[in-house]
């Protein structure tokens, strides 16, 4: 007898729930900020990627309204069919200039950019090499591309070199996150560049979490490592994290961008983002350039958090970025910590498999330039109290 769709899905959901892996959407009643409101009350928020505090910045907000007054709401078509405006074009030019490349191309989101770029650059008969901890959108891009897909151990450049040496595909594309989204560490970009050069492989860096945050000017992890378009020909970054708006872009040579316009399906077959959003992003980019103190303050808070967490013996990972996960191991322990934090009015992301490997569940704490030192201290005190209660209770630390 056949099972109805809802019965089958009910069974699958209960398996997910029993494992403690059920995800729920929560609806917030206030803009992205260190203090967030829900119907249950106010929370101190350490779960946002709004690293520079621009998502609700007055200048960015008013650029969005002015943009809407000038351009209306929807773009009404894909970029190639009338959705592209001078506002989009100017944003692309400014982004390209900011990251020191000839041209840039906008995509509706980082997910779409990654799937579109990888699908355009490689095909059957080619090979693609990725860090095991790369973002899901890069993995999906590779799986959909029909190229042979190989993954190397996290940040293991020696293994990448071996895989490249043993491979004879026509074209080889190496892809890495610039900053790993669930670990916060920066990829060993210089070493990856060296191996790619030795083995004639192309390199793509996804700088979703480095853009706006790393490098002297905020141009990201690639600029921070002193690497140019010759070494990293394909640079992708998102606009919904440090820039505080939405969308993503790819930057590189004239040839790269021209080719993506022909062949990146997620660019060709998707409606352009509203021009008003492009206007807001242009303003956010100006704030990034005019207010370097936001970045400095952010890095200061990162140092403060790490010093305090180390002193309290919290399970820090080796990250110098605003992503500061606490590695808790098992899902039960993670949920206990998350709930205890919540009871104290603090929010951090509970990251479980399959987003991260089994046994590496973690509390993903993210800091932003909008937090105060006092708020970071409150977080540290609360975490230290949770840790010491756990020790007193003699709780096991799951592997
Ligand atoms: C968030 C993220 C993306 C996806 O970007 P969206 O604009 O949110 O779709 C891609 N890559 C990495 C590393 C990310 O963290």
- DSSP H or E stretch at residue 136: helix 136-145
209 alpha carbon – ligand 1 mean position (Å): 8
The DSSP line for 201-253 is: -EEEEE-TTTTTTSSTTS--HHHHTT--TTT--EEEEESSSTTSS--EEEEE-
249 lines ligand 1 (CB under 6 A): no
360 lines ligand 1 (CB under 6 A): no
pLDDT value of position 117: 98
Report the atom number in ligand 1 closest to the C-alpha of 239: 7
Confidence band, pLDDT 50/70/90 cuts, at residue 55: very high
Report the atom number in ligand 1 closest to the C-alpha of 240: 7
Q: What is the pLDDT of residues 309-359, one digit of tens each?
A: 999 999 999 999 999 999 999 999 999 999 999 999 999 999 999 889 999
Nearest-CA residue for atom 4 of ligand 1: 110
pLDDT value of position 393: 76
204 alpha carbon – ligand 1 mean position (Å): 14
Q: What is the pLDDT of residues 259-294, one digit of tens each?
A: 999 999 999 999 999 999 999 999 999 999 999 999
386 alpha carbon – ligand 1 mean position (Å): 31
Residues annotated as catalytic (active site), given as ranges: 181, 209, 241
Q: What is the pLDDT of residues 74-105, one digit of tens each?
A: 999 999 999 999 999 999 999 999 999 999 99
For 264, residues 6+ apart whose C-beta sits below 8 A from its C-beta are: 105, 107, 116, 117, 119, 120
159 alpha carbon – ligand 1 mean position (Å): 25
pLDDT value of position 399: 41
**What mean pLDDT do residues 180-185 have?**
96
5 alpha carbon – ligand 1 mean position (Å): 31
What is the C-alpha to C-alpha distance for residues 45 and 295, in angstroms, rounded to an integer?
19
Q: At what angle do helices 331-343 and 373-392 cross, to 10 degrees?
A: 130
150 lines ligand 1 (CB under 6 A): no
Give residue 293's region: left, alpha or beta (phi > 0; psi -120 to 50).
alpha
Q: At what angle do helices 275-290 and 86-98 cross, to 10 degrees?
A: 30
pLDDT value of position 395: 54
- Percent pLDDT > 90 in the chain is 92
238 lines ligand 1 (CB under 6 A): yes
For 313, residues 6+ apart whose C-beta sits below 8 A from its C-beta are: 387
What is the C-alpha to C-alpha distance for residues 98 and 178, in angstroms, rounded to an integer?
17
115 alpha carbon – ligand 1 mean position (Å): 11
Confidence band, pLDDT 50/70/90 cuts, at residue 394: low
273 lines ligand 1 (CB under 6 A): no
177 lines ligand 1 (CB under 6 A): yes
Candidate of 47, 115, 208 to mutate for ligand 1, largest count of ligand atoms within 8 Å of Cβ: 208
181 lines ligand 1 (CB under 6 A): yes
248 lines ligand 1 (CB under 6 A): yes
């Amino acid at each position: 007898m056949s099972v109805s769709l809802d019965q089958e899905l009910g069974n699958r959901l209960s398996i997910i729930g029993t494992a403690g892996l059920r995800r729920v959407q929560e609806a917030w009643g206030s803009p992205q900020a260190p203090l967030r409101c829900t119907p249950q009350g106010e929370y101190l928020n350490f779960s946002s990627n709004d690293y520079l505090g621009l998502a609700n910045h007055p200048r960015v907000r008013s650029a969005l309204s002015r943009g809407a007054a000038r351009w209306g709401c929807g773009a009404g078509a894909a970029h190639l069919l009338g959705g592209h405006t001078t506002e989009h074009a100017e944003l692309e030019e400014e982004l390209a200039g900011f990251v020191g490349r000839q041209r840039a191309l906008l995509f509706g989101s980082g997910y779409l950019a990654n799937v579109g770029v990888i699908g355009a650059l490689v095909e059957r008969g080619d090979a693609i090499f990725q860090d095991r901890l790369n973002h899901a959108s890069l993995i999906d891009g590779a799986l959909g591309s029909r190229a042979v897909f190989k993954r190397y151990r996290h940040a293991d450049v020696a293994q990448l070199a071996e895989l490249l040496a043993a491979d004879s595909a026509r074209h080889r594309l190496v892809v890495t996150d610039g900053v790993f989204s669930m670990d916060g560490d920066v990829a060993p970009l210089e070493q990856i560049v060296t191996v790619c050069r030795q083995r004639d492989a192309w390199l793509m860096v996804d700088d979703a979490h480095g853009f706006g945050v790393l490098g002297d000017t905020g141009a990201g992890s690639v600029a921070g490592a002193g690497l140019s378009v010759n070494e990293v020909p394909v640079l992708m970054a998102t606009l919904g994290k440090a820039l505080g708006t939405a969308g993503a872009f790819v930057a590189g040579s004239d040839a790269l961008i021209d080719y993506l316009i022909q062949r990146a399906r997620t660019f060709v077959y998707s409606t352009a983002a509203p021009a008003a959003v492009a206007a807001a992003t242009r303003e956010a980019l100006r704030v990034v350039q005019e207010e370097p103190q936001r970045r400095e303050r952010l890095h200061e808070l990162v140092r403060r958090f790490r010093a305090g967490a180390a002193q309290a013996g919290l399970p820090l990972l080796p990250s110098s970025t605003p992503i500061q996960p606490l590695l808790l191991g098992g899902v039960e322990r993670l949920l206990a910590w998350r709930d205890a934090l919540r009871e104290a009015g603090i929010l951090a992301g509970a990251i479980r498999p399959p987003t991260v490997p089994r046994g590496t569940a973690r509390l993903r704490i993210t800091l932003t330039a909008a937090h105060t030192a006092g708020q970071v201290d409150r977080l540290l005190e609360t975490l230290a109290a949770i840790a010491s209660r756990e020790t007193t209770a003699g709780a096991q630390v799951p592997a």
